[in-house]
A and B are shown apart, each in its own frame.
Chain A
Amino acid sequence: MLKKISSILILLLSLAHNAWAVLTIEITEGVEGASPIAIVPFAWKGQQAAPQEIADIISADLQRSGLFAPLAKQDLISQPHDASEINFTDWRVLNTEHLVVGKIDALGNDEFQIQFQLMDVSKGSQIAGYSIRSRLPGLRRSAHKISDIIYKALTGTPGAFDTLIAYVTVNQYPSGKRKYRLAVADSDGYDEQIILESSQPLMSPNWSPDGKRLVYVSFKSGRPEIYIQNIISRDIQKVTSFKGLNSAPVWSPDGKRLALTLSKDGNPEIYILDLASKRLSRITRNYAIDTEPAWMPDGKALVFTSDRGGSPQIYKVNVSQNRAQGRVERLTFDGNYNARAAVSSDGRHIALVHRIDGRFRIAVLDMRTRQINILTDSRLDESPSFSANGRMIIYATEDSYRGVLAAVSVDGRAHQRLSSQTGDVREPAWSSFKSH
């Protein structure tokens, strides 16, 4: 009887097997890492030499993100400029996942038409195709825009290549005089523009959310004061000039307030300044030093550095207008030095300077796991600042006793030195998405 039942079962099962024969294979794991991409030099139709190597700029941008591994120029199998010219099999052999082809047409009067296509090599189909009109001085920026389009199309996250960085450079002359400069450049460090020059120290530049103004500390009157400057019109406006310290100004996400450190009441404390009303509200009340505020993306809390626990650590304070206002929470517990916090735009990560074995490294605190992940390994890394999409961190480091800028991806995989600046470069600040 049992035998009968079992054979019936087997029969049923085999019938079922035949009936629902579609095999199911579930994939739950994949690889992470840089995706191979080929950016073929864009065709240039003009009398003179090409004004910019658009493809090189895009390659460098994508490389810097850590998410892409652009194929070296000499490894390009062929140089198509249009989807119709692509032999996908060639690119598959090279394990290339994506291919960018394009051309630049000169329209006269320093105007250009850039056309490009982003192709999926495995499928042999187009993912994105755009035509961008650009003027000669804006060609680099157009290249960054293309990088952003490619980045967004392939990662689903907005790119932050078409953004700016601000930083301070210091040049010491043989006479002993020093020159401080506030500079702004493209996110790759190119196209540097000097916004302000001073013989007195300039410090702590920070971008307005609209990317049009900078707030910084200047000692031009001999003592620290906070100024706001429009980077296009170059107009300057003094914001605070309290007795004692006026430092570490940071713009709130809504652009209406500044968080800053003042010692007008005797001890460095965190304050919030309402820019329209000039009303000042004190956030911290502690005998210890509280400084270097940074906004959480919702504008309802600040993180800051305090040595109230005996060593500099990162704390978070609620600044929303409710009962929780002023509530302080310590965020870092690893090591005896965690300072200079910067918060990613999604609030998931806090970049900070972490001291380990007497060296200052850039580290990231994961706000979900509360784990600190050290990203850099130089001697003196400082002033981390997040890219607008939260994927990259720019920071100042040392190279032969000279300050230079470097970038690291938030996962620590991609490291890049930005090397076009001269002098001692300090305190980089990365702008939000450009809106102008």
Chain B
Amino acid sequence: MWGIIRENPKAVIFAILVHVVFVGVLIFSFSSSTPTIAVNPEVNIVKATVIDEGKIKKERKRKEAIKRKKEQERKAAEKKKQQAKKKAEAKRLALKNKKEAEAKKREAELERKKKEETQKRKAAELKKKQEEAERKAHEEQLKRQLAEDERQRKQQAQRAAQQNEVDRYRVLIKQAISNKWRIPVSARQGQECILKLRLIPSGEVISVEVIKSSGDSVFDRSVESAVYKASPLPLPRAESNLFNDFREINMPFRLESRN
């Protein structure tokens, strides 16, 4: 604080001056209003001390006037009170009406909501029913699909089993003929002769046809001979109904390696 004063002496002085003027104005205004307050008690004191007849009459009249005035005032107040009461009653009625209207409104609202809910519930129920029906239909379809799949699977399994059986007998026939094929000494690696065999259900080879000759009669004869020697060929049981697969057989003979 001191530092500020020292640094700005003009401002400080100015501030002090402003304060002094302000305080002065305040003091002046107080001293000029004081005399009016002091005059009135002196007047009252003078009146209280004056008593006379005229004055009493006057006083009575004045009192009666005051009384009337008061009565009037009372009546006015009464009236006013009545009016206020009426007003309040009207207000109360209005309020009551308003409340009743509101209640009605709420009730209607409630009713409406109730209706809506019922409708909603009904719609939901309908929807649920429809969904149920759909679900059932779907399930039904799924069942059918599964049954169909199962049927196909069975069919495939049966076919696979048949194929297995065919393959098994292919191997058996291959072995039976390999065991009987005496490879000619002159046979060369890669030499090939293709035969077509015709079988009867007993496995007997009833015909052998050279459909592609090796060009070497010794080789061709050796393979034909192998087939005849291996006849009857092993075939699946008659019940398997696979004979048609074996009725005709293409049989390439190819020498893969020569030691």
Contacts and interface: CB of A to CB of B under 8 A. Distances in A.
A240 B249 CA distance: 67
A25 B251 contact: yes
B169 to A, nearest CB: 9
A24 B250 contact: yes
B225 A154 contact: no
A157 interface: yes
Contact of A23 (B152, B156, B246): B246
Contacts of B218: 153-156
Contacts of B248: 21-23
Given A7-B152, A35-B182, A156-B185, A26 B251 contact: yes
A22 B197 CA distance: 10
12 contacts: A7-B152, A23-B166, A27-B177, A27-B223, A30-B182, A31-B182, A122-B228, A155-B185, A155-B218, A156-B184, A156-B216, A157-B185
A67 to B, nearest CB: 6
B185 A67 contact: yes
Contacts of B166: 23
B179 A27 contact: no
Given A23-B245, A154-B218, A32 B226 contact: no
Given A23-B249, A156-B218, A30 B181 contact: yes
A23 B228 contact: no
A76 interface: no
Interface in A151-177: 153-157
A65 to B, nearest CB: 9
A26 B174 contact: yes
A4 to B, nearest CB: 12
A22 B170 CA distance: 12
B156 A28 contact: no
A7 to B, nearest CB: 7
Interface in B215-231: 216-219, 221-226, 228-229
Contacts of B75: none
A390 B174 CA distance: 33
Main secondary structure of the interface of B (DSSP, over half): helix
A10 B228 CA distance: 37
B12 to A, nearest CB: 99
Contacts of B244: 21
A123 B185 CA distance: 20
Contacts of A28: 178, 253-256
Interface of B: 152, 156, 159, 166, 170, 173-174, 177-187, 196, 216-219, 221-226, 228-229, 244-246, 248-256
A391 B225 contact: no
Interface in A18-62: 21-33, 35
Nearest to A98: B225
A21 B245 contact: yes
Main secondary structure of the interface of A (DSSP, over half): loop
A391 B184 CA distance: 13
A197 interface: no
Contacts of A156: 184-187, 216-219
B221 to A, nearest CB: 7
Contacts of A23: 166, 170, 245-246, 248-250
Contacts of A120: 221, 225
A152 to B, nearest CB: 9
A154 B225 CA distance: 12
A274 interface: no
Nearest to B166: A23
Taking each of A23, A31, A122, which has the highest tally of chain B beta carbons within 10 Å of its own beta carbon? Answer: A23
B251 A97 contact: no
Contact of B174 (A25, A67, A391): A25
Contact of B185 (A21, A31, A127, A391): A391
A127 B181 contact: no
A326 B140 CA distance: 94
A24 B252 contact: yes
B251 A24 contact: yes
Contact of B181 (A22, A25, A27, A157): A27
Contacts of B185: 67, 155-157, 391
A14 interface: yes
Taking each of B219, B221, B223, B256, which has the highest tally of chain A beta carbons within 10 Å of its own beta carbon? Answer: B221
A25 B233 CA distance: 12
B251 A30 contact: no
Contacts of A7: 152
Contact of A123 (B170, B186, B225, B254): B225
Contact of A127 (B159, B221, B228, B255): B221
Given A27-B223, A97-B229, A157 B246 contact: no
Taking each of B182, B222, B248, which has the highest tally of chain A beta carbons within 10 Å of its own beta carbon? Answer: B182
B152 A30 contact: no
A107 B228 CA distance: 40
Taking each of B186, B216, B244, which has the highest tally of chain A beta carbons within 10 Å of its own beta carbon? Answer: B186
A129 B216 CA distance: 19
Given A25-B250, A30-B183, A157-B186, A122 B156 contact: no
Given A23-B249, A28-B255, A123-B224, A155 B182 contact: no
A35 B226 CA distance: 12
Contacts of A127: 221
